Structure 1
């Protein structure tokens, strides 16, 4: 069961107040990110109005670190359904709140929240802006380089438009995109699914170069499952 945490100040529920209009919201899904999630949320709050944080069944009490943080809406899934499922939960809430721009980023410090203003600036002329890590591959593991390049090439051929980095989760969306597109896949392949559906709806997609950051994070992506999921996306 999911629980929505409403944000209050002096006993007043901000989300229901006509005096507060949400403009920019960050959607941050996470699963067992106790080491990183608090710092990511803290840094992200400097650039957005609210954060929708989705705990996708963590067992390490990650979400306890976010309790009672002002301007954070916390959604807890009772079990680990997958990144795509968690993202859609966040998108549904963002649409419900009529957010103008929705930014997504990972909770493991592979994305720098300080780059959010670049996405906000970039989306002025586009419907979706996606981070492109493939111009800076020095710290990316070899298997991830090959996976990212291959999936991006295949999606580009399928859609007839250049997809520079199909797997990057650091993105910005206009509200109208998420009102139109719903993810059906529950895993990491959902982010590629969004690209396919957006291209078919003629939404304008752009890419901006961002650093590739790989440190001591433990990847949640399982290679075999990811390949199977991506094949399904290619078939839709």
Structure 2
């Protein structure tokens, strides 16, 4: 589905996940209202949808008082990925043609929403990520900068595209992707959406956006972030490209076991070892693990192909 700017009738939902953001959610909603006329000039209608992810403060009440269009609440804190998934699902149910995910902490500028959705409206992209690093207004901590660099390189490798910012707090999703999106993990959404869109043949682009220091609340990112994010990436890879995961693991383990077998056999014939194979259990373990992983990958790939057909 291609939307053209100036074509009347498209519905844009801005999803704002919020967890204990009572001090910033009203300001975020008010700031988002400032782009309403610009969206109307493009032929669209703007709706603000807040997902209260089990907040223990007055986030939900503050959002209602600020005049949010739609408020959805989780009974418990389920995670940012789950909140984004809930928001997208609710927006689709309400007829969304476009969805923008926007942080409640106002580190992003609502004025960037219009340039972010233009590649989708013009039929050039299905998924657009904000690129923060050229317009960031504070010094990002070194650890976070290195983490961003690692995940950018990883996502570039996995998707074959140049990903310069794979973890922004502002992204836009078009109707074609909304009709088929899948976010299996609850922790984060950024890498999941990027991989999900890539395996479904969606077009991806990035737009420069502003990024400001956080003035209230706290980031969900902690030392556990890379480990959980990597596990979520592995799950998506296993879903869409099982041979890419299990085939490579199986080949690596199988080759390691075979190589160890021949090395120990050579040492025995050279008189440097007392037994033909000294580490029998290790060799058998590597070969069996490799064979099982490879077989699992083949079976999973056959199932995936069967479901596609």
State the TM-score, normalizing by the size of structure 2. Answer: 0.66
Q: Is the 8 A contact 2:19 2:53 kept in 1?
A: yes
Query: Are 2:21 and 1:33 aligned?
Result: yes
| Structure 1 counterpart of 2:84, from 84, 87, 90 | 87
Q: 1:71 Cα shift?
A: 5.5
Distance in 2 separating the partners of 1:146 and 1:38: 33
Higher strand share: 1
- Greater Cα offset, 212-221 or 198-207: 212-221
Structure-2 change in CA distance of 1:184 and 1:178 (3 Å): same
Query: Are 2:52 and 1:55 aligned?
Result: yes
> Residue 75 of structure 2 aligns with which residue?
78
Runs of 4+ in 1 over 2 A off after TM superposition: 45-48, 68-71, 134-139, 215-225
**Cα deviation 1:31-71 (Å, max 9, x = unaligned):** 01111111111111233521110000111111111225545
Q: Is the 8 A contact 1:104 1:171 kept in 2?
A: yes
Q: Is the 8 A contact 2:10 2:98 kept in 1?
A: no
> Residue 164 of structure 1 aligns with which residue?
164
Query: Are 2:207 and 1:219 aligned?
Result: no
- Residues paired across the two proteins, number: 216
Helix, strand or coil at the partner of 2:227: helix
Q: Is the 8 A contact 1:181 1:197 kept in 2?
A: yes
Query: Are 2:194 and 1:195 aligned?
Result: yes
Q: 1:93 Cα shift?
A: 0.8
Higher helix share: 2
Distance in 1 separating the partners of 2:214 and 2:102: 16
Q: Is the 8 A contact 1:25 1:52 kept in 2?
A: yes
**Cα deviation 1:91-115 (Å, max 9, x = unaligned):** 0011112211111110001111121
Q: Is the 8 A contact 1:22 1:98 kept in 2?
A: no
Structure-2 change in CA distance of 1:67 and 1:217 (3 Å): closer
Q: Is the 8 A contact 1:95 1:175 kept in 2?
A: no
- Greater Cα offset, 204-213 or 225-234: 225-234
Q: Which runs of 5+ in 2 are unaligned?
A: 1-8, 37-45, 238-309
Distance in 2 separating the partners of 1:46 and 1:99: 20
Q: 1:218 Cα shift?
A: 4.1
Q: Is the 8 A contact 1:33 1:108 kept in 2?
A: yes
1:52-201 alignment, distance < 5 Å = 52-67=49-64, 69-70=66-67, 72-123=69-120, 124=122, 125-137=124-136, 138-188=138-188, 190-201=189-200
Q: Which runs of 5+ in 1 are unaligned?
A: 1-20
Helix, strand or coil at the partner of 2:223: helix
State the TM-score, normalizing by the size of structure 1. Answer: 0.85
**Cα deviation 1:68-90 (Å, max 9, x = unaligned):** 55451001111100000011110
Distance in 2 separating the partners of 1:66 and 1:136: 29
> Residue 30 of structure 2 aligns with which residue?
42
Distance in 2 separating the partners of 1:77 and 1:132: 30
Distance in 2 separating the partners of 1:72 and 1:163: 33
Distance in 2 separating the partners of 1:85 and 1:29: 9
RMSD across aligned C-alpha pairs, in angstroms? Answer: 1.9
Distance in 1 separating the partners of 2:214 and 2:49: 25
